[in-house]
Amino acid sequence: MRKAIYAGSFDPLTNGHVDILKRGLEIFDQVILAIANNPNKKHFFDVKERIALAHQATQGLEHVVIDTFDGLLVDYAKTKNATALLRGLRAPSDFEYEFQLAMMNRRLAPQLETTFLMTGEEYFYLSSRLIKEVASFGGDVEHMVPQAVYKALQVRFGGGQT
């Protein structure tokens, strides 16, 4: 069974994340969407909210498991018997950081392969940070995030009712 871990903050999940997840499901038998739960990092949506949103956004997708992790990703991957880490690439600016991270993870766990998938062109400009910024000023992000995330952002920023 080819199991991959797609780890990130997903704060919040965007259509870019979902795109990478779906592409990953074409390659792997199972993808674990692993939501980072770092108590030292300030998140906009807490881990429970991010888990709930991920469940709603992936409804109907088979072979996806939603989970959280803290500590070293390679250790978590080992406990899950995963063979690969899945990462998404957007603009070239992602590359440097992702390259460093992949090399470090390879050093820590040589048998765990990092797999990069290129985002769809309609998503390459999407980031969780930008989504939050635009939503905070009342910009329309409806078609950039899953519906559940859109509603949660509306509630947070007082832009509407659910």
Q: Using CB under 6 A, list all residues that contact ligand ADP.
A: 8-10, 14, 16-17, 20, 36, 87-88, 90, 94, 119, 123, 126-128
Residue nearest to ligand ADP (CB): 16
Q: Which of 41, 42, 107, 143 is catalytic?
A: 41
**Is 42 noted as a catalytic residue in this protein?**
no
Least Å from the CB of residue 160 to ligand ADP = 24
128 given a catalytic annotation? yes
Which C-beta is closer to ligand ADP: that of 124 or that of 157?
Answer: 124
The half-sphere exposure of 36 on its side-chain side, counting CA atoms within 13 A, is 19
Backbone conformation region of residue 47, classed left if phi is above 0, alpha if psi is from -120 to 50, else beta: alpha
Given the complex with ligand ADP, which of 87 and 135 has the nearer CB atom? Answer: 87
Residue type, 59: Q
Burial letters 107-125, b for 16+ CB under 10 A, else e:
eebeebebbebebeeebbe
Active-site entry in 3, 22, 90, 156: 90
Residue 137, Cβ density class (10 Å: 0-12 exposed, 13-18 middle, ≥19 buried): exposed
- Hey, what amino acid is at 40? N
The reply to whether 17 belongs to the active site is yes
Q: Is 41 a catalytic residue?
A: yes
Shortest reach from residue 161's CB to ligand ADP, in Å: 28
Q: What is the DSSP letter of 73?
A: H
Instruction: Please pick, among 23, 43, 87, 128, the residue that the annotation labels catalytic.
Output: 128
Known catalytic residues? 17, 41, 90, 128
